[in-house]
Amino acid sequence: MKLDYRFVRNENPKPHPEDESKLGFGRIFTDYMFMMDYDSANGWHDMRIVPFDYIPVHPASTVFHYGAEIFEGLKAYRTADGKIQMFRPVENIRRMNNSAERLCLPQVDEELFMSILETIVGTEKDWVPHSDGTSLYIRPFMYGNDPHLGVHAVHNATFVVICSPVGAYYAEGINPVRIAIESTDVRAVRGGTGYAKCGGNYAASLRAGEKAEKNGFTQVLWLDSVERRYIEEVGSMNVMFKINGEIVTPALLGSVLPGITRKSCIELLKEKGYKVSERKISVDELFEAAASGTLEEAWGTGTAAVVSPIGWLHYLDSEYTVSGGKIGPVTQMLYDTLTDIQWGRAADTHGWIHPVA
């Protein structure tokens, strides 16, 4: 589908980052962004690619008062022969529409959404970095902007896509991270918005995240909100454990984000003959496995985090070192297999790669 949009030239393009080893995550933005507006009478309209800039928003807007906001995160990769490709974008498109459904925000037609992604990434292709482990992070987001204070489903919304050249999400890179299991705050409840990618879930996670960081941890691992026993997710990634040869990951029961990297890792693990169980896993089971030596590996999966080994797990007064504080063989295999596909070093036998330019 060819996108029908207007283009406003950026008269002040920025210099591209010289040292790609210092990109970090989400601090540098490209020259352009995609925008379109929605109202119930006209649907989505005024598709445009405009210079990256501040966005004027009405002070009474739904997004400011009632948190009507959803987002996605996916990446475009530069291959050794200079091609630009995205990884499983249709999964992000579908997940964003599921998030929109949960928050009463409007749907975006799948073909239109794909064409928007292709067009903005095509426009910004020179911003896709070249160095190993770097990519262009694509952040579509949508917010409700009805300009009045009544609490109602949204009738006006804006959809935006911004892009950021990125390196590793964690300062640790591919080295193991320290994770604190949170015993007080919860991130999401069943029947709530945990499975949707909405800003409110992340806002609710900030207090515990801040506390964990102050105590020397990279991130928080959430427990379920009812019994405070079952492992959920980290927030910036889903989690997987290798216990006695079996891969275990929390089942998607409504309060955990259905990660696309999670799904891809499960598919890869099954193909390689691992037994993968998507089920409830309690913190007691995890620490019993750690104490008896059967917790062999732990890692997180996410678009930003890719596959990130967990080296230390802290809960109340106990701390366990996993895999000797080193990346384990299954974690390394997943990281290598996935990143080889993403950067075009291995054949895409799954139909996961979507070429852009």
Residue span binding ligand COI (CB under 6 A) among the ranges 185-193, 239-247, 297-305, 315-323: 297-305
Which position among 303, 308, 331, 337 is part of the footprint of ligand COI (CB under 6 A)? 303
Q: What share of the chain is helix, strand, coil (3-state, %, to 5)?
A: 25, 30, 45
Cα–Cα nearest to 73, from 140, 1, 154, 134: 140
- Closer CB to ligand COI, 170 or 315, in the complex: 170
Shortest approach of ligand COI to residue 135 CB, angstroms? 11
Task: Give Cα 179 distance to the centre of its chain.
Answer: 18
C-alpha to C-alpha distance for 229 and 244, rounded to whole angstroms: 21
Mask for 157-196, x = binds ligand COI (CB under 6 A): ----------------------------------------
Return the number of the residue (44 or 159) whose C-beta is nearest ligand COI.
159
Query: Which residue in the set 62, 73, 143, 301 belongs to the binding site for ligand COI (CB under 6 A)?
Result: 73
Nearer to ligand COI, 75 or 178 (CB): 75
Q: Which residue, 9 or 207, has its beta carbon nearer to ligand COI?
A: 207
Contact 91, 114 (CB under 8 A): no
Quick check: helix, strand or coil at residue 221? strand
Supply the minimum distance, in Å, between the C-beta of residue 78 and ligand COI.
18
* Segment interacting with ligand COI, rule: CB under 6 A, options 246-254, 265-273, 302-310, 337-345: 302-310
How many whole angstroms separate alpha carbon 188 and alpha carbon 70?
15
The tokens 């300062």 sit on which residue? 171
Close Cβ partners of 165 (under 8 Å, ≥ 6 residues apart): 16, 17, 20, 23, 28, 30, 127, 128, 129, 134, 135, 136, 137
Structure token digits, residue 301: 């999966």
Dihedral angle sign, alpha carbons of residues 46, 49, 51, 56: positive
**Cβ-proximal residue to ligand COI, closest one:** 73
Using the structure block, give the residue that is written with the tokens 């890719």.
306
Of the pair 156, 339, the CB lying nearest ligand COI is at 339
If one counts every other C-beta atom within 10 angstroms of the C-beta of residue 245, the result is 10
Closest CA to 129 of 73, 88, 77, 89: 77
If one asks whether residue 304 binds ligand COI (CB under 6 A), the answer comes out as yes
Residue 238 touches ligand COI, criterion: CB under 6 A: no
Q: Does 85 bind ligand COI (CB under 6 A)?
A: no
When the beta carbons of 290 and 354 are compared against ligand COI, the nearer one is 354
Min. distance of Cβ 70 from ligand COI in angstroms? 11
Asked whether position 302 contacts ligand COI by CB under 6 A, the answer is yes
CB of 204 to ligand COI, least distance (A): 13
Q: Which stretch binds ligand COI (CB under 6 A): 104-112, 114-122, 276-284, 300-308?
A: 300-308
Q: Give the SS3 label for residue 90.
A: helix
Distances (CA, A) of 354 to 76, 127, 265, 284: 9, 18, 18, 42
Residue 176 or 300: the one with the smaller Cβ distance to ligand COI is 300
Considering only CA atoms, which of 22, 46, 26, 21 is closest in space to residue 34? 46
CB of 58 to ligand COI, least distance (A): 26
Selected binder of ligand COI within 99, 218, 236, 337 (CB under 6 A): 236
Closest contact distance (angstroms) between CB of 237 and ligand COI is: 7
Residues lying near ligand COI in the complex (CB under 6 A) are found at 73, 236, 302-304
